[in-house]
Amino acid sequence: AQKITQTQPGMFVQEKEAVTLDCTYDTSDPSYGLFWYKQPSSGEMIFLIYQGSYDQQNATEGRYSLNFQKARKSANLVISASQLGDSAMYFCAMREDNYAGGTSYGKLTFGQGTILTVHP
Protein backbone atom coordinates (compact mmCIF):
# COMPACT_ATOMS: atom_id res chain seq x y z
CA ALA A 1 0.00 0.00 0.00
CA GLN A 2 1.14 3.51 -0.71
CA LYS A 3 2.11 5.79 2.11
CA ILE A 4 3.15 9.42 2.24
CA THR A 5 4.79 10.91 5.33
CA GLN A 6 5.22 14.57 6.08
CA THR A 7 7.02 14.82 9.42
CA GLN A 8 6.80 18.59 9.88
CA PRO A 9 3.36 19.64 11.20
CA GLY A 10 4.43 23.29 11.05
CA MET A 11 7.28 25.34 9.63
CA PHE A 12 8.24 28.99 10.01
CA VAL A 13 10.36 30.99 7.60
CA GLN A 14 11.39 34.61 7.24
CA GLU A 15 10.21 36.46 4.16
CA LYS A 16 12.70 36.20 1.24
CA GLU A 17 14.42 33.15 2.71
CA ALA A 18 14.28 29.61 1.33
CA VAL A 19 12.44 26.77 3.06
CA THR A 20 12.38 23.00 2.57
CA LEU A 21 9.26 20.94 3.28
CA ASP A 22 9.93 17.24 3.78
CA CYS A 23 8.12 14.34 2.18
CA THR A 24 8.94 10.64 2.18
CA TYR A 25 6.95 7.95 0.45
CA ASP A 26 6.63 4.23 0.27
CA THR A 27 5.43 2.22 -2.70
CA SER A 28 6.19 -1.05 -4.43
CA ASP A 29 5.03 0.30 -7.81
CA PRO A 30 8.03 1.11 -10.06
CA SER A 31 6.01 3.77 -11.87
CA TYR A 32 4.50 6.59 -9.88
CA GLY A 33 4.08 10.34 -9.76
CA LEU A 34 4.75 12.75 -6.92
CA PHE A 35 2.84 16.02 -6.51
CA TRP A 36 2.92 19.00 -4.24
CA TYR A 37 -0.21 21.05 -3.61
CA LYS A 38 -0.80 24.26 -1.68
CA GLN A 39 -4.03 24.78 0.24
CA PRO A 40 -4.69 28.32 1.47
CA SER A 41 -7.28 28.96 4.16
CA SER A 42 -9.93 29.24 1.42
CA GLY A 43 -9.69 25.46 0.97
CA GLU A 44 -8.88 25.17 -2.72
CA MET A 45 -5.99 22.88 -3.64
CA ILE A 46 -3.45 24.56 -5.90
CA PHE A 47 -1.03 22.42 -7.93
CA LEU A 48 2.60 23.43 -7.50
CA ILE A 49 4.92 20.85 -9.01
CA TYR A 50 5.16 17.28 -10.31
CA GLN A 51 7.93 14.65 -10.44
CA GLY A 52 7.65 11.36 -12.30
CA SER A 53 9.45 8.32 -10.95
CA TYR A 54 11.45 7.96 -14.17
CA ASP A 55 12.36 11.62 -14.49
CA GLN A 56 16.13 12.01 -14.40
CA GLN A 57 16.17 15.65 -13.37
CA ASN A 58 14.56 17.38 -10.41
CA ALA A 59 11.42 19.29 -11.35
CA THR A 60 11.32 23.07 -11.09
CA GLU A 61 8.45 25.53 -11.45
CA GLY A 62 9.40 29.12 -10.82
CA ARG A 63 10.24 29.50 -7.12
CA TYR A 64 9.38 25.84 -6.47
CA SER A 65 11.76 22.96 -6.92
CA LEU A 66 11.48 19.33 -5.96
CA ASN A 67 14.49 17.59 -4.45
CA PHE A 68 13.85 14.03 -5.64
CA GLN A 69 16.01 11.31 -4.07
CA LYS A 70 14.60 8.07 -5.41
CA ALA A 71 16.83 5.68 -3.44
CA ARG A 72 15.84 7.39 -0.21
CA LYS A 73 12.22 7.68 -1.34
CA SER A 74 12.05 11.35 -0.58
CA ALA A 75 10.53 14.24 -2.54
CA ASN A 76 11.16 17.44 -0.63
CA LEU A 77 9.71 20.76 -1.79
CA VAL A 78 12.02 23.75 -1.80
CA ILE A 79 10.48 27.21 -1.92
CA SER A 80 12.98 29.94 -2.67
CA ALA A 81 12.55 33.60 -1.77
CA SER A 82 9.49 33.03 0.43
CA GLN A 83 6.63 35.50 0.19
CA LEU A 84 3.88 36.33 2.69
CA GLY A 85 1.38 34.78 0.28
CA ASP A 86 3.14 31.43 0.62
CA SER A 87 1.63 30.99 4.07
CA ALA A 88 -0.65 27.97 3.67
CA MET A 89 -0.93 24.22 4.17
CA TYR A 90 1.26 22.18 1.83
CA PHE A 91 0.49 18.62 0.84
CA CYS A 92 2.71 16.02 -0.75
CA ALA A 93 0.80 13.40 -2.77
CA MET A 94 1.60 10.28 -4.75
CA ARG A 95 -0.19 8.69 -7.66
CA GLU A 96 0.26 5.05 -8.46
CA ASP A 97 0.30 4.69 -12.22
CA ASN A 98 -2.29 2.40 -13.69
CA TYR A 99 -2.02 2.32 -17.42
CA ALA A 100 -5.04 1.97 -19.63
CA GLY A 101 -5.10 3.00 -23.24
CA GLY A 102 -1.68 4.63 -23.00
CA THR A 103 -2.52 7.18 -20.34
CA SER A 104 -2.05 7.00 -16.64
CA TYR A 105 -4.68 7.56 -14.04
CA GLY A 106 -5.20 6.68 -10.47
CA LYS A 107 -5.96 8.01 -7.07
CA LEU A 108 -3.78 10.45 -5.19
CA THR A 109 -2.60 9.47 -1.73
CA PHE A 110 -1.89 12.53 0.39
CA GLY A 111 0.38 13.15 3.36
CA GLN A 112 -0.91 14.87 6.49
CA GLY A 113 0.36 18.25 5.36
CA THR A 114 2.72 20.93 6.68
CA ILE A 115 1.50 24.37 7.73
CA LEU A 116 3.95 26.98 6.48
CA THR A 117 3.98 30.43 8.06
CA VAL A 118 6.02 33.18 6.45
CA HIS A 119 7.03 36.02 8.78
CA PRO A 120 7.68 39.56 7.48
Interaction site with other proteins (CB under 8 A): 33, 35, 37, 42-47, 50, 52, 91, 93, 95, 98, 100, 103-113
CB 116 within 8 A of CB 9: no
CA distances from 36 to 17, 67, 102, 120 (A): 20, 12, 24, 24
Distance CA 67, CA 59 (A): 8
46 vs 84 by CB, closer to other proteins: 46
Smallest gap from Cβ 120 to other proteins, in A, equals 28
12 vs 47 by CB, closer to other proteins: 47
49 vs 82 by CB, closer to other proteins: 49
Residues paired with 110 in a beta bridge:
93
Smallest gap from Cβ 21 to other proteins, in A, equals 16
